[in-house]
Amino acid sequence: MKPTRVASNVARVATRSFSALSTPTRALASGNGLLTQQTPKVAFEQRSSYHKNVIDHYENPRNVGSLDKNDPSVGTGIVGAPACGDVMKLQIKVDDNGNIIDAKFKTFGCGSAIASSSLATEWIKGKNTEWANKVKNEHIAKELCLPPVKLHCSMLAHDAIQAALKDYQKKQENKATKQE
């Protein structure tokens, strides 16, 4: 089967797709679309098994992108799930009052992983770091109606938030040490 180009607004976010034989393949989204070997019938069957909230965040991801990791006000969390190969980078930009003024993500993984990343950034943006620290994977999984087999995606989002907060706090401690 010859690969076909499928329009996608998931800029620079990779997704897992399925061929006509339902063999998992990885495909990288580019600015011009997503290169896959996916047939329309299989695409519909796979899509229909996801909850509408997952489909919404997958098809219209919020806050895709990157922030300057060298900026002292930016915390970066990179986490992965070796069992399935999903990798998630989540970044936060925090102001002097401890408020998250921006959040970005890039995820290589399935639709549930992308949706979990998108939802997580949407929730923490505009909140303070204490509030973001209280976001749990159960909250993400419940909002997206993730089935048990996809709970690891919400755990990745939770772990990415925690890693980004930890990185930000470490930068702040280093900044305070240098000023002394």
For residue 128, give the CATH number of its domain. 3.90.1010.10
Owner of token pair 């900044």: 175
Q: Quick check: 94 pLDDT over 90?
A: yes
- Angle at alpha carbon of residue 36, lines to 153 and 49, rounded to 5°: 45
Q: What is the DSSP letter of 70?
A: T
Helix H or strand E segment including 87:
strand 86-94
The per-residue pLDDT for 68 is 97
95 touches 74 (CB < 8 A): no
Give 65's pLDDT tier (boundaries 50, 70, 90): very high
Give 175's pLDDT tier (boundaries 50, 70, 90): confident
Owner of token pair 């943006």: 125
Q: Which of 79, 140, 153, 165 is catalytic?
A: 153
Check whether residue 81 and residue 32 sit in a common domain. no
Domain that holds residue 170: 74-179
Check whether residue 110 and residue 147 sit in a common domain. yes
Check whether residue 43 and residue 79 sit in a common domain. no
Owner of token pair 């990157």: 66
Q: Can you give the pTM of this predicted structure?
A: 0.73
Check whether residue 86 and residue 159 sit in a common domain. yes
Query: Highest mean pLDDT: which of 21-25, 56-60, 129-133, 172-176?
Result: 129-133
Give all strands of the β-sheet with 86-94 in edge-to-edge order.
4-6, 33-36, 24-30, 14-18, 100-109, 86-94, 74-81
Mean pLDDT estimate for the chain: 81
Q: Say whether 110 is catalytic.
A: no
| pLDDT tens readout for residues 26-61 | 434 434 444 444 434 434 345 558 889 999 999 999
Check whether residue 10 and residue 87 sit in a common domain. no
- Does residue 54 sit within a domain? no
| pLDDT tens readout for residues 126-149 | 999 999 999 999 999 999 999 999
Of 170, 159, 73, the residue nearest 117 (C-alpha):
159
How many domains in the chain? 2
Check whether residue 125 and residue 43 sit in a common domain. no
Q: Say whether 145 is catalytic.
A: no
Assigned token pair, 73:
């006000």
Q: Could you give the CA distance from residue 152 to residue 131 in angstroms, rounded to a whole number?
A: 22
